[in-house]
Amino acid sequence: MGRLFGTDGVRGLANGDLTVELALGLSQAAARVLTTGRHADELRAQGRRPTAIVARDPRISGQFLTAAVSAGLASSGIDVLDAGVIPTPAAAFLVGDIHADFGVMISASHNPAPDNGIKFFSFGGTKLPDAVEDRIEAALAAEKLAPTGAGVGRIRRFADAEDRYLLHLLGTLDVSLAGLHVVIDCAHGAAAGISPQVFADAGARVTVIGSDPDGLNINEGVGSTHLGPLQAAVLEHGADLGIAHDGDADRCLAVDARGRVIDGDQIMAILAVSLQARGMLVDDTLVATVMSNLGLKRAMAEHGIRMIETGVGDRHVLEALAEHRLSLGGEQSGHIIFSDHATTGDGILTGLQLAAEMVRSGRTLAELADVMTVFPQVLINVRGVDRTALDGHGVIAAAVEAEEAALGDSGRVLLRASGTEPMVRVMVEAADQGTAEQVADRLADVVREQLAV
């Protein structure tokens, strides 16, 4: 079997791959691993128990998984604060806000309703390093903590969880959003109870879609992976912008008043230039992944902003932000991280800051997005190949080198092996769509031929 933890916690089909037994065991293992050290020893010396926050998105399987996780933690001597249905970034914020020992978020983000996942936040609300996740996985086979009597944990409702998070979000704004009409797509997910409220409290006029979660409709035809309904709603209501979240609200994509999609790269470009102009972009540097559009890199260079590129995944962005003590980073998919305000990607925070920049600058979202020219990008997933043979393959490397030479400064090529499937992703950017498609097709044929299994 491979590693249990993936790029964002443990994820799978609820009650299939992700069972009650696994959820219980993971929480017991996490209790052992995440409550060791001086802090936990001091608590126990004072006769106090460690505390964990448990939260979930609204998919129906989150109910029994929350029960299993809470039971595992309490049986291990951990006091549980059940925050109910809140966004992933809210859970991360609350861990730091109340100085909880760690947090557990039960969500499968943008995945369909039958899936679910469990991810952990350490003290301070940060994601766990791979090494700590490996220790939790190893602890599944270890003896469980099993206090008795007064040593077992208590499970209580975290009554003001939403209010704490909402006030935190409002506290990041330096302008009122009065005069803006915003359409918010909550993806029938965890944003439904908070995002419309915080935009309204900030002064905006709000129209809401995708805000009726029933446990089974999360991400279904709405949200950041299905932008058509948001585009239609913005045009129908004559709104100034649209904001789309995913199921757990750690992403934000946008739509301008003309119905044009503004992706994570464009949002990062807008916010990086804004922060730089206000002297708030640390070291005039932005962190993005290798999948970000070439147009982002060019726009940043034109404004004297340096870019640090990381591997794909917000985990890598977070690591680079922490290592270099920087203030802004993110992904094309809409995971945007403001290190001054959050320890993880926060879709509601991102939407607020984007709207605030419209007010601050007096410009439309379309005008702001013109800071970056988006290069046509083509992505081909070449399936059924030996992904492990990609690195160091001479014929493929030579083909890539030849295509890159032909593109020159007007494009780029990226080949990346999937981490979980027998697949290689071929990504090409060029000055025009036709060229990008032709180069991608040629390289995909080479990969197919050379890595056939």
Catalytic residue among 75, 109, 195, 224: 109
Handedness of CA 442, 417, 406, 262 (dihedral sign): positive
Task: Check if 109 is active-site.
Answer: yes
Q: How far apart are CA 324 and CA 343, in angstroms?
A: 15
Q: How far apart are CA 197 and CA 312, in angstroms?
A: 32
Torsional class of 274: left (φ above 0), alpha (ψ -120 to 50), beta (otherwise): alpha
Q: What phi, psi does 212 have (nearest 5°)? A: -125, 65
Instruction: Give yes or no for a contact between 449 and 384, defined as CB atoms under 8 angstroms apart.
Output: no
Q: Could you tell me which of 414, 420, 426 has the C-alpha nearest to residue 451?
A: 426
Instruction: Give yes or no for a contact between 260 and 288, defined as CB atoms under 8 angstroms apart.
Output: no
- Calculated CA dihedral for residues 19, 21, 23, 27, nearest 10 degrees: -170
Q: Could you tell me which of 113, 122, 12, 24 has the C-alpha nearest to residue 67?
A: 24
- What number of other Cβ atoms are within 10 A of residue 37's Cβ? 10
274: buried, middle or exposed (CB in 10 Å: 19+, 13-18, 0-12)? Answer: buried
Which residue carries 């549980």 as its tokens? Answer: 80
DSSP string, 215-275: SS-TTSS-STT--HHHHHHHHHHT-SEEEE--TTS---EEEETTS-EE-HHHHHHHHHHHH
Instruction: Give yes or no for a contact between 415 and 428, defined as CB atoms under 8 angstroms apart.
Output: no
Instruction: Give yes or no for a contact between 23 and 53, defined as CB atoms under 8 angstroms apart.
Output: no
Q: From the DSSP assignment, how many helices (H) and strands (E) are in the chain?
A: 15, 18
Classify 209 as helix, strand or coil.
strand
CA angle 288, 248, 417 (to 5 degrees): 45
Residues identified as active-site: 109
